[in-house]
Amino acid sequence: AQKITQTQPGMFVQEKEAVTLDCTYDTSDQSYGLFWYKQPSSGEMIFLIYQGSYDEQNATEGRYSLNFQKARKSANLVISASQLGDSARYFCAMRATGGFKTIFGAGTRLFVKA
C-alpha cells in the first residue's frame, strides 16, 4: 500500500528566508511520481513541482526545488526566498506510473512572517 507522511502540521518562516517542508513516502511500486501542491485559504489546489522516481536530478521550478532521496524515500520541498503569498497549506502526493489514484499526505500549514 502507498502512504505519504508529512510530520510538520504547521511551520513558521521569516519572509525572504528559505524553508524545507518534509515528506516521506512508502510504496512497493518501482515507478512512480511525486508531486507537491499548494492550497491557499481560497481552497484551490495549485500544482508546484513534480519528480519522477527514475529522475536522477532533483526537480526545480523557480523558487521551488524538490530534494529527492530515493533510498530514504523522502521528497522534501524547499522554498527559497519566502514571500507572504507563500502562506498556505502544502500537500505532498504520489501516484504510481500507469495508475489513476493520487495519495496525499496530511499537509503542512506554512505561515510566512513579515
Partner 1 sequence: DAMVIQNPRYQVTQFGKPVTLSCSQTLNHNVMYWYQQKSSQAPKLLFHYYDKDFNNEADTPDNFQSRRPNTSFCFLDIRSPGLGDAAMYLCATSNWAPINPLEQYFGPGTRLTVT
CB atoms under 10 Å from CB of 73, counted, come to 15
Residues making contact with partner 1 (CB under 8 A): 32-33, 35, 37, 42-47, 50, 52, 89, 91, 95-102, 104-107, 109
Shortest Å distance, C-beta 88 to partner 1: 13
Q: Sign of the C-alpha dihedral, residues 69, 7, 64, 78?
A: negative
Which is closer to partner 1, CB of 68 or CB of 91?
91
Which is closer to partner 1, CB of 68 or CB of 105?
105
Which is closer to partner 1, CB of 16 or CB of 70?
70
C-alpha cell at 30: 518501482
> Which residues fall within 8 angstroms of residue 59, CB to CB, at 6 or more apart?
49, 50, 51, 65, 66, 68
Shortest Å distance, C-beta 109 to partner 1: 8
